[in-house]
Each structure stands twice: as structure tokens, then as C-alpha cells.
A and B are shown apart, each in its own frame.
Chain A
């Protein structure tokens, strides 16, 4: 199994997943790239096989044009949805830290016997359907929903507040749905921390709060970084949350791509949106993977 597993067996074991990923990941990606720079006439539906063969497909798609990309810059909806996606993802990541950090901290400081159960409780919602968890908020945030009912029966407000179909609801949705992704890396960095360091800091005259900011927090920064990227990257391309909880004024790039594709049936523009979304995410993805690789080296 190790390095001396040479010969045809080795080639087969490498070959099967390799070819699969090449066909179903790499090639489709190249097609998106190709379509994004093709003429909208040939790349758009109707769904009849526009391309008789793959070679014809590439021959036709070979007529380059940057029209789709030009649209991205000339029409304000695209620039606006890129910027607002980045802003919504970044600010909900920061807000989420304020909820996730105390939770992860308390889990890491809980008695050892409790920790596996607490961990299980954080992971469990991550296994339950994303769609269902977003849907759960519709009933709470709706005009005649539970939150308004609660606020009105306590007497805080007289009129129902509009939560649903606002950007506020999108923040709530993102923070709620991605919370486990933030808590888990934070917990694992806080849990392996050596308690004697904090005791030492306190023995040397640090107040507990100062010990936290000078010892605990700096040591948990790898967890903060990992969690933030794990949340930020998928949140930028999020579709379900802005679509179900956001209003028509909440523009996010994932939703724009979806509408371009399913409602406007403009495949080249949808492909150009996809490629430029990826270009925006490449930098955070590379930073994240480098940080992960470094952390793995440090563990060894």
C-alpha cells in the first residue's frame, strides 16, 4: 500500500478518482470558462443539442467575445451584487465571531466528560438540512410570525416589524446556518491550549481578563482565521439564504447567477458571473489552504 505498491495496481488506484475528477470537475470548469467568452447566440438555450459533437461545441465556442464580461462592468446590478455579497459575508462573519467565540470558549472550558456531548450538539445541526434550518426562520420572522407575536405581546412594539424579506433577515440566516463552521475550529484551537499558560499569567499578576487578551486570544487566532474563512467563502456565493429570507433589494451574487441562468436564460452571462465569482474567491481560498497546510505541519 505504501510507496512500494508499484505497477499497474498503483496506476489503477490513482487513475480511477483522477479520471473521475478530471471529467466531472476540471472539464466542466473549462466549459464554463469557454462559454463565458462565447457568443450568446450559440451558447444559449433552446435545449436542443446545439452542439452535435464536442469538437463542434468547442469550434463554435471558439469565436471569442468579451461581451459577457463587458456586461458585468457596464450594468450596475453585477458590480452591486459583488460588493454587497462581499460586505454581507464579511460583516456576518465578524458578527458571528461574537456569538461563536464565547460558545467555543465555554465548551473548551467545560468538564472533560461533557465535551463530547457538547461537540455532538454543535455538529448535529450541521447534519440537518441547510434548507430546513433556513426555512425554520421564515415562520419566526414573518409578519405574523413568532418574533412579532412575542414583541407585541410583551408590548415592545404595537405594529409588526418587517423582518422577513430584508437584508437583516439574511444576516440572521447566515449567522445561524454557518455557526457550527465557526465554532468547530475555534473549539479545537481553544481545547488543545495548555491551561498552565493561563495559570502562569495569573500567577505573574495578570487579571483574568488581561490573561485572556494576552494569552488565550492570541493562541486561538489560527482557529479564528480558519473559522472565518470557512464561513466567509461559502457565504459570498450563498443562494438559498438571500433567496428565501432576503427581499428584492438584497442582491447577492449567487442569487444573481441563479436568476441570470433560470429566469433570463442567459448562459454566457451566468458563466461570466461564475468565473468572476471564482476569481474573487481565489485569493481567500489560497490563503485559507496555506494556513491549513501550515497548521497541519505544526501539528506533526
Chain B
């Protein structure tokens, strides 16, 4: 059993301190009664009260939530299909172009993705607003889903699928009964990733939006440009809290499922062998 050396403890403390201190400070100052960022005026919840009375913020949050749910769900379906195509379908005409189109958006600067989608919407004269942002978000998040699901598809034993098909299962049935249950945790975490990417996005949304569709990051951005405001700290704290609970919860859940699945597999082997 290895133990911590002083060097490793220092590195961990400094590294995690650097990663978390700014967030902790932001959260603490959301409870500051004073308006200033440097002067501590005592604990207070008044900025949270203001957030819930600020109709513009609430509207933006609602737009963001609907956008995230919708685009993440469509992106998960499309991304899972793309992952299956990339990992199970072997060669087909245009495969190189397809994998290029799936991987390129992962590293594409957001300003380029945003600009090019906007020019598409203008070229076909599509009215800009909620739906254009949704289409844009589906497009860039599905590539992340594809990568997450593909890594799971590559990692599991293909002989299970082959066995099902040898026993007369059709490809679609094999997918629903064998493949999908096994890759399900990856599909879920793909959805989570797509959702958080969507609710975080500022640049692509700003390019593709139209009148009446302001997302929370766009609202935060336009307020932040005018300076630090305690209400924004409160909004940010709420967002951080929701995401942290969701991510930690999802990871605990998938860990538990993994353990149960392994136990079931062992039981099956014991019964069969």
C-alpha cells in the first residue's frame, strides 16, 4: 500500500486549491449582505431573493433548461447512432468523411461553429430563435455523445452480440436486448455531458440566437460585462449546485449499476458452469 509523500500532498493541496478556491470564493460572496466584492457585510440570502424576483433571469433560465433537455435528448439519439456506425459497421462509402465530421467539431473553435451555423440559417432564411439554437446545440453536442458511447462500444465483448444473432435475433432486436442495456451507462453520461455543454454554452448560442431567445449564459455574460454583481454570484451558485448534485449523483448511480451488473454476471456464470 502506497502512502502519500510530502511532495505529493503539497502538489495535491496546491493543485486542488487552485481549482476550487475561486469557486468557493464566488459561492461565499453570493451570501454577502454588502454589494462590494471586497468588503464582507455579513451573511444574507437577499441576493437569492432578488434572483427569484428577476423575471428576465427566470425566463432565461427556463429557456436554457428547455433547450438543454431537448437538444441533449436528440443529440444522444443521433450521437449513439453515430457511435454504432463508427464502431460496428466496418467500411462503407464515405466513412472517412463521416468520422472527420464527427471528430472535427470536438476541437473546432466555437466562434467558427457558431458563425458557420448562423450563415447557414441566414442562407436558407430560417427564422432565428429558440429552434436555431436547438439545432446548433444538437449538432455540436452529438459529437461528444458519439465519443463517449463509442469508447464503451469498443470496450465490450462483441461475442455477446454475435451469440444473440446466432440464436436468431435480428440486428434491431440484438441492439435493444443486448447492446443497449450494456452501453446504457455510457448513453446516460453522454446525455449528461450534452446537457451540461448545452446549458453552459455562450458563444454558439450568441451567434445562432434571434429575438426572444436569451439563454442564461447570454444573460450572465451581458450582466457581467457591466461589472461584478452579487445577484450573478447567486445565480452562478445555484447553477454550480445543480450541476454538482447531478454529476456526483449520476456517477454514484452508474457505479452502483456497474457493481450490480458484475454481480449478476458472476451469478449467471456460477449457475451455468
Contacts and interface: CB of A to CB of B under 8 A. Distances in A.
Interface of A: 1-5, 9-10, 13-14, 16-18, 20-29, 31-32, 35, 47, 49-51, 54, 57, 99-100, 102-103, 105-107, 109-112, 118, 120-125, 127-133, 135-140, 142, 144-146, 148-149, 176, 179-180, 183, 233-234, 236-240, 244, 254, 257-258, 261-262, 267, 270-271, 274, 277-278, 281, 285, 288-289
Given A125-B20, A128-B244, A145-B37, A14 B92 contact: yes
A66 B19 CA distance: 45
A111 B26 contact: no
A262 B15 CA distance: 38
A244 B225 contact: yes
B9 A277 contact: no
A25 to B, nearest CB: 5
A142 B37 contact: yes
B111 interface: yes
Given A22-B101, A103-B12, A140-B25, A13 B116 contact: no
A104 to B, nearest CB: 9
A105 B101 contact: no
A117 to B, nearest CB: 10
Nearest to B178: A1
Interface string B44-81: 00000000000000000000000000000000001101
B115 interface: yes
- Of the listed residues B37, B119, B136, B175, the one surrounded by the most CB atoms of chain A closer than 10 A to its CB is B119
B217 A129 contact: yes
7 contacts: A1-B171, A122-B19, A127-B243, A128-B244, A132-B220, A239-B111, A261-B115
A235 B112 CA distance: 13
- Of the listed residues B19, B81, B179, B224, the one surrounded by the most CB atoms of chain A closer than 10 A to its CB is B19
Contacts of A26: 97, 101
B85 A129 contact: no
B239 interface: yes
B112 A278 contact: yes
Interface of B: 1-5, 7-9, 11-12, 14-16, 18-20, 22-23, 25-26, 29, 36-38, 78-79, 81-82, 84-85, 88-90, 92, 94, 97-98, 101-105, 107-112, 115-117, 119-120, 122-125, 135-136, 138-139, 142, 146, 158, 161-162, 165, 171-172, 174-175, 179, 196, 199-200, 202-203, 206-207, 217, 220-221, 224-225, 228, 232-233, 236, 239-240, 243-244, 247-248, 251
Contact of B101 (A21, A35, A129, A288): A21
A260 to B, nearest CB: 10
B18 to A, nearest CB: 7
A140 B26 CA distance: 9
A137 B104 CA distance: 30
Contacts of A50: 122
Contacts of A111: 1-4
A24 B82 CA distance: 15
Nearest to A175: B18
B38 A237 contact: no
B174 A1 contact: yes
B12 A106 contact: yes
Contacts of A102: 7, 11, 14-15
A127 B117 contact: no
A239 to B, nearest CB: 6
Contacts of A4: 165, 171
Contacts of B81: 13, 16-17
The 3 A-B pairs with the shortest beta carbon distances in the complex, nearest first, are A237-B109, A103-B15, A28-B116
Contacts of B36: 144
Given A139-B26, A146-B25, A176-B18, A131 B221 contact: yes
